[in-house]
Amino acid sequence: MSRSLNLAVIPGDGIGQEVVAEGLKVLSAVLPQDVKLETKEYDFGARRYHATGETLTDADAEALKQHDAILLGAIGDPSVPSGVLERGFLLKLRFLFDHHVNLRPSKLLPGVATPLAGQPEIDFIVVREGTEGPYTGNGGTIRKGTPHEVATEVSVNTAFGVERVVRDAFARAQARPRKKLTLVHKNNVLAFAGHLWTNVFNAVAQEFPDVTTDYIHVDAATIYLVTDPARFDVIVTDNLFGDIITDLAAAVSGGIGVAASGNINPSGEFPSMFEPVHGSAPDIAGQGKADPTATVLSVALLLRHLGHDAEAVRIEDAVSADLAERGTLPARSTSEIGDALSARVAG
């Protein structure tokens, strides 16, 4: 654990600006006096794109690389053609910094509404592979725009890429009380990739004899996430399946306002990036209506990643306490929620 914290801050677009301000407020409040916090703000997103046509230059990447971690709000705006910022910034950074572990915890906290019947026990994390699968841009089109158009989108799975994310997931499962890891795939139909995942999973399992293992097809996983989410502790899965089931996981465990995530480079070769799962919400931007809780919980993930576990726990406890009371309080603005959380972590 370092006694200084040098953070790159990317507020981005829309509500990203509003929620990141609150995340930093809580971060400043929770850090002990002797931890020196340095932040540098970057203007990536729609403004930068409109001003310069740039999304993420080599010099930008070099500058970001110097930080301990990155806090991101959201990138995306209706004024920018779809795909430009997603590919030019979000995906580009994920590949450049080799963020191969996409971490998304789901915990239903007391007082938080879920669309599920009853108040089921939900406390699991999804470890989604971040750099392979069908997201590598390995494909193409011929006869475009004709009735005979052909499109391929090849799912790339390497033994190296699968093993490192599976190993990370086993270690995370081992560190949790239940010590259970579920592989989610579709190995009955996607047999080539599925067998690679299954074989690697079973091989790495030998090194973690105290971790209970399980396998579920992705379609069945969507059923259990709704009917029996308590069966999950840690889930490891490929990029596409992970993208889909984590949205479902967020929906059943309190919604987009509280869903946090980390794009992690476990080796530390490049800084990891932490962000709320939600986007820039142009429909409510600039109105002080955005819930900053997901960003604040992303700050907790960031702190835990850097070894500041006690501070991460203080933030999570503050969020739990605040959420438990929320139903009884009048609606609060983005900054009022940030103030309340800051007061709790400081107090």
Residues that bind ligand NAI (CB under 6 A): 15, 19, 74-77, 86, 90, 256-257, 275, 278-284, 290-291, 294
Tell me which stretch binds Mg ion (CB under 5 A): 149-157, 188-196, 239-247, 259-267.
239-247
Q: Which of 135, 168, 233, 238 is catalytic?
A: 135
Residue 334 Cβ, how far from ligand NAI at the closest point, in Å?
A: 8
Residue 256 Cβ, how far from Mg ion at the closest point, in Å?
A: 10
Q: Which of 77, 168, 238, 243 is catalytic?
A: 243
- Tell me the residue ranges of DSSP E strands in the chain: 4-12, 36-41, 69-74, 101-107, 123-129, 139-142, 150-153, 180-185, 212-217, 234-237, 260-264, 272-276
Q: Nearer to Mg ion by C-beta: 102 or 272?
A: 102
Q: What, of ligand NAI, Mg ion, none, does residue 132 touch, CB below 5 to 8 Å by kind?
A: none
For residue 230, what are its two tokens? 């308590």
For residues 153 and 328, give the distance between their C-alpha atoms in angstroms, rounded to a whole number.
49
286 annotated to bind ligand: yes
Residue 247 Cβ, how far from Mg ion at the closest point, in Å?
A: 5
Residue 197, burial from CB neighbour count under 10 angstroms (0-12, 13-18, 19+): buried
256 annotated to bind ligand: no
Residue 135 a catalytic site member? yes
Residue 92 a catalytic site member? no
283 annotated to bind ligand: yes
Q: Nearer to Mg ion by C-beta: 17 or 246?
A: 246
Q: Nearer to ligand NAI by C-beta: 17 or 342?
A: 17
Spatial neighbors of 262 by CB under 8 A, at least 6 apart, are: 101, 102, 103, 104, 272, 273, 274, 275, 298, 301, 302, 305
Handedness of CA 334, 122, 271, 345 (dihedral sign): positive
Q: Which of 40, 214, 228, 247 is catalytic?
A: 247
Residue 186 a catalytic site member? yes
60 annotated to bind ligand: no
3-state SS string for 212-246: EEEEEEHHHHHHHHHHCHHHCCEEEECHHHHHHHH
Going by C-alpha positions, the residue among 251, 262, 346 that lies closest to residue 299 is 262
Q: Which residues are catalytic?
A: 135, 186, 219, 243, 247
Q: List binding-site positions for Mg(2+).
A: 219, 243, 247
Q: List binding-site positions.
A: 94, 104, 128, 219, 243, 247, 279-291
Q: List binding-site positions for substrate.
A: 94, 104, 128, 219
